[in-house]
Chain A
Amino acid sequence: MPVAPAAFLDPALLAKISDLALLARTVVDGFMHGQHRSLRKGSSLDFAEHRSYQPGDDLRRIDWRVYGRTDRFYIKEYDADTNAGVLFALDTSGSMDYGSGSVTKFVYGRMLAASLAWLSQSQGDRVGLATFTQDLEEVIPPSVRHLQRILHTLAATTPRGPSRLVHSIERVGLLSTRSGIIVLITDCYERPDALGRAVDALRMHGNDVIVFHLVDAAERDLPGDADTTFEDMESGALLPLKPDDLRSKYQTLIRAHHEALQSRLTAAGADYVRLLTNEPLDRALHAYLDARLTRGRVR
């Protein structure tokens, strides 16, 4: 009995695949099979323009003729190369290690980043990765050949420590000198206003921003019974509570937070996608592709 393609997008099943490359290919192939179309058709090798050499660019792509005339390094770009530079920014703080089910937010985010990177690579985009907690931890500049590095880095990263989300986003903005797509994968434990201002800054540099807000179901509903002591996974702080009595109030706060995030980030021009970690990944992939198609090429 053939396995339904959507089954490959089940986070619980995907989490059992330890090879991120296999996982990403499985997800994307399954997803594409369900889409019945390929964005590769849009790819082109027509000359588009010259641009200045940036560190990390392939030296073989330097237009030596232009160098001979101008004594400067220019890269000759074609339409296919200008699709996008996609930088995946993954929150690896301690709070991402939470998961009430078999999949933690970090695992889900890692699968998401790997899949999107694979998809982007398949579309000819340059892909890069930045992981952050209080500051940037690992940085891989966007490149058409950095996918394996990205997958390797994702596989080797473990979530830990506190986070400074706004500061990290600001540092991510400084990484790209060219506008591109910044995919932010985080649990968004930050005030919406502050997060919106950080996204505003990214947008002002011409970046398209997609924010994947990862939420665990228990995190949304508040776990615990009559008396539970909660321990902050980042700071270790303890807080005794009676969740049964406070659940509705908590859920109100969470909903307000989510709504505020959506409102503020949308207002900032970002695509805000809230994902439950028990949901299939195709929603994230759809959201990503929708954003790519809607906005077209990014300059």
Chain B
Amino acid sequence: MLEYIISKYNFWVYVILMMIGLYAMMGKRNLVKKLIGMNIFQTSIILFFVSIGVKKGGATVPILEGLGHGHEHHLINVAHYLNPLPHVLMLTAIVVSIATTGVALATLILIYRRYRSLEEDEIMLIRREETTLRETR
């Protein structure tokens, strides 16, 4: 059992990180903490992708062993190079996650200017008071 866990520890770490992120997004009342939770959630998926491209035993980046003109290029043995594609995909995913964080931070600024608070409970309280005020008027 322990061996089973250790042999796939990268997947366990990604699942645990993902759960921490989900917990922060749902359980925390502070909007910044929710945002950090979202970031942890995205990062866990990046870890997952990057770890599936890893190969043990001295594998390296793929290099074409060119023999000059007229000869065919041929790859070195498959076991000796890493798959670069998951890493390249994750470069894009990192950019997406940065953009999402940026937009979320901008909305947080708007929320703070409006309610002077980033605690969900306080914002809900202010909103409820405002609706009752509007209805009584």
Decide if A and B are genuine partners.
Answer: no
